[in-house]
A = this chain, B = another copy of it.
């Protein structure tokens, strides 16, 4: 009796959930060839289904990518959640989130690239923005304690910390941090420390504008 989970990819077959299989295979393919070389046809081939099969689930190519993006944000948020819960000190919590942010970019590089460098037209897909929302809110929430109810400052600090985490992630993926686990942890460390520096100097985020 053949175990369903043991089906080889090349078996042409009815999937219980082709939609989910497409999403999974899309992630895998993006990981191998980069987001820019992703194609619906290749995904179909890998699953052993006809190139037309996906159109029963997604009206067009980008709709599949959008579905992947939604899942990516959920995973992203889940990756940050432990840091949020782990630290009671607000500064440490923010630093932990920055660290997790960089780690996520490395551990799920194709997803991260899909979200930020793939040029998906997010305005066409409100569900992506909705999926991003909890992540932004997480930064904002945990920053409040540091800002004594000052909403403007909270927003400034949240933006700065996100930019910091994002910038370190980009530097890791595309810059000169090198590769390997050591590089990841170094970048994550730097992001965490820079976060602490931003927190320490946060009053300057609202000071009079620096010279033009």
Q: What is the 8 Å Cβ interface bit string for chain A, positions 16-39, against chain B (1 contact, 0 not)?
A: 000000000000000000111000
Contact between chains at A201 and B210 (CB < 8 Å): no
A148 to chain B, nearest CB (A): 17
In the bound complex, what is the Cα–Cα distance between A30 and B189 (angstroms)?
A: 36
Task: Report the copy number of this chain in the oligomer.
Answer: 2
For A212, the closest partner residue in chain B by CB is B99
Contact between chains at B189 and A209 (CB < 8 Å): yes
Which residues from chain B contact A119 at a C-beta distance below 8 Å? Answer: 34-36, 117
Add 19 more A-B contacts to A162-B171, A199-B201 (CB < 8 A). A36-B119, A99-B212, A117-B117, A156-B193, A160-B193, A160-B194, A164-B164, A164-B194, A167-B168, A190-B205, A192-B209, A193-B206, A193-B210, A196-B207, A197-B204, A198-B198, A198-B201, A200-B200, A200-B201
